[in-house]
Amino acid sequence: MGLLSKLFNTFKRIRLNNRNAVVGQSLDYLLLSSLYAEQQSAYLNSYETGLPKSTLIEILEEYSAIYNKEQALAVLQDLKKRNTDANLEIVFNAFENKDNAVEILKRNLPNDEYKFKLYIAMYRSLNTIVDELIAENIITHYSQISSVKDSAFDYGKGAFLARCCFELGYLSENEMKLYLEESYYELKTVCSTWSQYVASYVLGRAIWGGSHNSGMIQIGLDLLHHKQSPLKGKTYL
């Protein structure tokens, strides 16, 4: 971990809502959004994010093209369905079979030059980030995330966007809560621990083009181990 990242983390505070905290099983549903929330310095333990309206609008409009309820529902459902990319399955298969990786990628990836280069870049990112996750003891072996792959990234992002949509009035409170609960149980079918969730989220962010992954890993470590984090002491989803 870089020195600047460590110094930054030393002064960073886990942000909690002490007035409207969510507790019990509902908190577990909410915590799917924790990595994205921590990136944005939002509350980790309440439906409200604690972010100004201008920031919420920027997150939804500039980064997710959400301007109204109809678009919110479409984007949120799409995030749930993203784990069906056949080409990404090929990338993960190549990673699991490194001795035959080149042959697997060349034989199965699209002939389209742009798409081929895109997925090759994902494969290279996957190699780098898995080594970092192992080095930081988030996982000890790739097999710990081989089934969930990058699923937590889409579910985690969707969970946080649902909170933003609720605050801007695009989703009712019940619609947001239902989305969080459904997302939690869908992810739970492939992801069993919160450490696995962190690893899967970081993987997804990295292979889809996210930068500064060392900082993202540090955020994950904070959530798992910081004394104020609502994830500390939790093992299983």
What pLDDT does residue 210 have?
Answer: 64
Please return the burial class of 57, using the count of CB atoms within 10 Å of its CB with bins 0-12, 13-18 and 19+: middle
Q: Per-residue pLDDT averaged across 52-63, rounded?
A: 97
Q: What is the pLDDT of residues 115-136, one digit of tens each?
A: 999 999 999 988 888 888 888 8
The tokens describing 160, both together, are: 């946080």
CA dist., res. 181 & res. 27, Å (int): 10
- Unique residue bearing structure tokens 């989220």: 201
Q: What is the pLDDT of residues 201-210, one digit of tens each?
A: 999 988 887 6
At residue 182 the predicted structure's pLDDT band, cuts being 50, 70 and 90, is: very high
Write phi, then psi, for 98 (nearest 5 degrees). -60, -30
Are 80 and 158 in contact, with CB atoms under 8 Å apart? yes
Is residue 83 predicted with pLDDT exceeding 80?
Answer: no
Are 218 and 194 in contact, with CB atoms under 8 Å apart? no
Task: Specify the pTM.
Answer: 0.89
CA dist., res. 30 & res. 217, Å (int): 20
Provide the mean pLDDT of the chain. 91
What SS3 class is residue 236?
Answer: strand
The tokens describing 16, both together, are: 């909690």
CB-facing half-sphere around the CA of 75: CA atoms within 13 A? 23
- DSSP label at residue 47: S
Q: Whats the size of the chain, residue-wise?
A: 237
CA dist., res. 160 & res. 79, Å (int): 12
What pLDDT does residue 212 have?
Answer: 66
